[in-house]
Structure 1
């Protein structure tokens, strides 16, 4: 069951980050669209929350200082996100 939850969080993160990419592209050509900007900011918050939840339970998603490393889900814990 824990593995299922891990996969669900990764899927949610991928979906939210996909929406962020699309909104980012849209805002590049429509910078005055307040509703799109509000949606972008809402999805940024969702992405942060999902990422924080994932990392607190399963370890860091990113290296090079972009993710905190914490015990007990640190660098030597597996599987890595790309191994799931």
Structure 2
């Protein structure tokens, strides 16, 4: 299983592709190839974000949960009870990423 930094790099790379495709689609909104690539990489990003959230903590509020208990107790101070998972994970001064 990839480590935190490897997964963050993968998410960053796919996010860059999506941002670039978004700019292209702003001026070429009917380009089939670009639309297909956008769909492909958007789905890949969703899977990567979901996998990252399952292993570590949510990176966006889209993946925040309130009905979960995390098994990863490294940076989760409330792993044994229902909590707002946005607070899980290291803070920037603990090596976390914004």
**TM-score interval, smaller chain:** 0.7 to 0.9
Q: Which has the higher helix share?
A: 1
1:61 to partner: Cα distance: 1.1
Instruction: Tell me the TM-score normalized by structure 2.
Output: 0.70
Give the RMSD, CA atoms, in angstroms.
2.3
Contact in 1 for aligned 2:64/2:86 (Cα 8 Å): no
CA–CA separation in structure 2 for the residues paired with 1:24 and 1:56: 27
CA–CA separation in structure 2 for the residues paired with 1:40 and 1:75: 27
**Post-superposition, which runs of at least 4 consecutive aligned residues in structure 1 deviate over 3 A?**
73-77
Structure 2 match to 1:57? 55
**Is 1:33 aligned to residue 31 of structure 2?**
yes
Q: How many residues align?
A: 80
Structure 1 match to 2:96? 83
Instruction: Tell me the TM-score normalized by structure 1.
Output: 0.80
For structure 1, the 5+ residue unaligned runs are none
1:62 to partner: Cα distance: 2.1
1:78 to partner: Cα distance: 2.7
- When Rg is computed on C-alpha atoms for both structures, the one with the higher figure is 2
